[in-house]
Amino acid sequence: MKGKSGSQRPKSSTRGNSTSKLPVSEEAAQSEWQFAELDSMGVMPRCEITGANVDLHLVAFRDPDTDEFTARILGADYRHLVRRTTNLSVPVSILSLATLRQLESQRKIPLGTRAAKKLREWLRHEVEKTWKDGLRSVPREPRQASLELVDDSATEEPFRLQG
């Protein structure tokens, strides 16, 4: 291929950055950033109505359409619409597995709702991730030496009250 100056320019099979000799697919792979948060996005709770993932609450309310007592994960917009029939509204950010279990055992939310299942899945994922991160941060010895400790209490006389 001839340029304006008449010089020959080699035809390149690579595209992208003119100074790079890497194919486009390899350039893209080099610019990818790995974020741990992206791994957990699939299990993150979302509003069951709008799909929003901010300002979420676990809301127990009587459904105005079916008159059925239910619990759902709701964002602020829909929470506002069911506020008159709401029995309980708890921010998702303060929930734990124990709190969720307690709410179900006290019948504050119905047993076996989709919202409770989704929250359990997310909370378990967060616990596992925290454990894995914690284990990675602890330096490991290939083999820990066992210490021979002498139990001094076995040779001492037991304590007696004077009286």
Domain layout of the chain by residue ranges? 39-133
H or E element that contains 36: helix 36-39
Give the tokens for residue 15: 């595209």
- What's the pLDDT tens digit per position in 127-146? 777 767 666 665 555 555 55
Q: Tokens 């734990």: give the residue.
A: 96
Q: Is the pLDDT of residue 10 over 60?
A: no
Q: Are 76 and 86 in contact (CB under 8 A)?
A: no
Confidence of residue 125 (pLDDT cuts 50, 70, 90): confident
Supply the pLDDT for residue 21.
Answer: 64
Neighbours of 59 (CB within 10 A): 24
pLDDT, mean of residues 152-160: 59
pLDDT at 67: 86
Contact 85, 61 (CB under 8 A): yes
pTM for the predicted model, two decimal places: 0.55
* Residue partners of 70: CB distance under 8 A and separation at least 6: 60, 61, 62, 63, 110, 113
Q: For residue 24, give the nearest of 33, 14, 32 by alpha carbon.
A: 14
Please compute the mean of the pLDDT values over residues 153-162 and round it to a whole number: 61
For residue 61, the SS3 value is strand
H-helix or E-strand spanning residue 60 = strand 57-62
Residue-level pLDDT at 45: 84
Helix (H, G, I), strand (E, B), or coil: what is residue 28?
A: helix
Q: What is the pLDDT averaged over residues 80-104? A: 92
Distances (CA, A) of 39 to 122, 129, 163: 12, 10, 67
Max mean pLDDT range (11-20, 69-78, 150-159):
69-78
First-to-last C-alpha distance (Å) of the chain: 110
| pLDDT value at residue 65 | 85
The predicted pLDDT at position 159 comes to 57
Task: Please give the full DSSP string across 109-124, using - where no structure is assigned.
Answer: S-TT-HHHHHHHHHHH
**What does pLDDT average to over the chain?**
75
